[in-house]
Structure 1
């Protein structure tokens, strides 16, 4: 569909999406580009804002490595997302500059037989090519995502298709259902009809009125951003029983994201220096190539050789949910006396990027089906 075709008209259904993380942006864009919809995103924080603990998506690594072990629906969601991102990342593609295609190496200490054989160039690693203590491993081609660039790409593409945004802190979904997306504006001139609401609040689903999902909880992830343009491959190992996850994720820009942690219900909002050092030590052991070439040419690098190339440290709260992603519909009473569909799309934990397009497709299908039922 062309950009012109997706522009809203007076007959367009008015949809409000709550949340401007990668899930909210992708879902809003998916709906807006279908045509026949006038979509407004309402959120407190947007991609171009200064980084903060309130906005998890900006802190993600991120690469497309699916964790859908034995979950057919999740694997389908992840595969659809990969296909979309692969097309976007193609030479001359719509968002080539937001991605880097790389060879990826995953090492497993629990002997698992990876489910990623659908990825390009997949092969199991031989025993003599494994790192110490790894039992199995695999290599494949994937892509990494420059999260600040990609989030702003999604937002600008959404706006260029006629989408609108409103910055506001929402206490309850009924505020939008009754007053419309501009109810928080000082120049608000009266109630605006809303035909549907799509709720993508991430960790905010715990406290947002009308949702208050107590199955949602944070999984804290801490990362370090290095300037290491000589690294053009990814490596990952997992020690989940220790709440650790060691990964090297290079970006097209030459920055490299190294991490990390998976700490359930850890709310500490800034980087811990001792964790930063632990992350650097683990990643240097996994990937000595992180150290500057001139250092490696003279001697064996140490963790102190990485500190001069640190650009930033930070952390984010992955919005996890007991039972996994919530993708369903409820009905809310509108001021007009009718019921409007409320579609929920949240609880992606650390899989927001690799599930974004696939879960947006399901949310959109739920929306269309609900609107058809409402007018049957």
Structure 2
């Protein structure tokens, strides 16, 4: 294949990298263009499988199932950073089981004695837990082993992309700008990484729409503590006061976390939209653009499912025999 017939992916977060792997392994030449590889927001993720405040459910369900299957397979290889981990999600009020509970065969209601003090309901289940720095490096390596090309550059307009048979817009928060879509907004997330005092199971609180989250995700020697969900805020600077509040919330559940050495602080911006956008559209100059953005806090959970749908769209909409024009 010539360079002109290469599919260009914009963005190197979990969506861009996973889409790149899916396309390469389907036989398409791919060039991935991003300012940072891997992307900052994906590096900051917790990350546990589970659809989080994302629509539309009829599509989210299928994307989530596809990703669940992919992560279960990847968990057999420790080098991927993916493990199947058991734990509890609980609430301080009586909360019904989430819609996605039907996707997990081991999902069950907790007995009262399983819940921390102050919690009224909860559920136990086993899901993929993903150590994002390890996993994203695994994706980068898999992408390059499959023949993918990585180019570090900032793309501010689809018109700036040259020599492409199609463009895949996986640019996260910037994806809306590239698409002329004003419906994408930031939701700021912050995590604290500490030395693991011996935790083997995850814990998360169903906090509804609160900006203050509580999650404890063990990754071997480390634990990722979270978090925040501040709607409309895109500042990537670390906030020490928020760090302290996160640790204090988590230490109420596991007191040993209060004195656990802090190893890192992570801040990212969830690219949020009323509905995830995975669809093809013809650029005004004739080239085909396939959008894959707006995943909010479910980028990891939806990654393999959305990548598979992008690969299907490429097979049905992109002419493999020649270059398309994106320059007016």
TM-score (norm 2): 0.90
**How far, CA to CA, are the matches of 2:36 and 2:69 in structure 1?**
28
User: Which residue is 1:159 aligned to?
Assistant: 144
Q: How many residues align?
A: 319
Taking the aligned partners of 2:156 and 2:118, their CA distance within structure 1 comes to 49
Task: Please state if 1:89 is matched with 2:75.
Answer: yes
Give me the whole-angstrom Cα distance separating, in 2, the residues matched to 1:360 and 1:330: 16
State whether structure 2 residue 34 is matched by structure 1 residue 43. Answer: yes
- 2:196 is the counterpart of 1:228: yes
- Unaligned residue ranges in structure 1 (runs of 5+): 1-8, 48-53, 181-191, 292-302
RMSD over equivalenced CA pairs, Å: 2.3
Instruction: Kindly state the Cα deviation for residue 345 of structure 1 after the two structures are TM-superposed.
Output: 0.1
| Residue of structure 2 aligned with 1:104, choices 61, 84, 87 | 87
Cα distance change, pair 135–348 in 1 and its aligned pair in 2 (3 A): same
* Matches of 2:33 and 2:112, distance apart in 1: 51
How big is the shift at 1:277?
1.3
User: Which residue is equivalent to 2:97?
Assistant: 113
Partners in 2 of 1:99 and 1:311 — Cα distance? 20
Going from structure 1 to structure 2, the CA distance change for 1:27 and 1:70 (only over 3 Å counts) comes to: closer
| Structure 2 spans left out of the alignment, 5+ residues | 323-328
1: distance between equivalents of 2:227 and 2:296? 14
Q: Structure 2 vs 1, CA of residues 69 and 141 (structure 1 numbering), >3 Å: closer, same or farther? A: farther
Question: Residues 26, 117 of structure 1: CA spacing in aligned structure 2 closer, same or farther, 3 A cutoff?
Answer: same
Find the aligned partners of 1:263 and 1:214 in 2 and give their Cα distance. Answer: 19
Q: Residue 97 and residue 199 in structure 1: after superposition, are their counterparts in 2 closer, same or farther (change >3 A)?
A: closer
Q: Aligned equivalents of 2:267 and 2:290: distance in 1?
A: 29
Which SS does the other structure have where 1:350 is aligned? helix
- Say whether the 8 Å CA contact 2:4–2:165 is kept in structure 1: no
Q: Which fold has the larger relative contact order, with Cα–Cα distance below 8 Å and residues 6 or more apart in sequence?
A: 2
Q: CA deviation at 1:313?
A: 1.7
Distance 2:87 2:316 in 1: 39
Query: What is aligned with 1:66?
Result: 51
User: Partners in 2 of 1:110 and 1:13 — Cα distance?
Assistant: 55
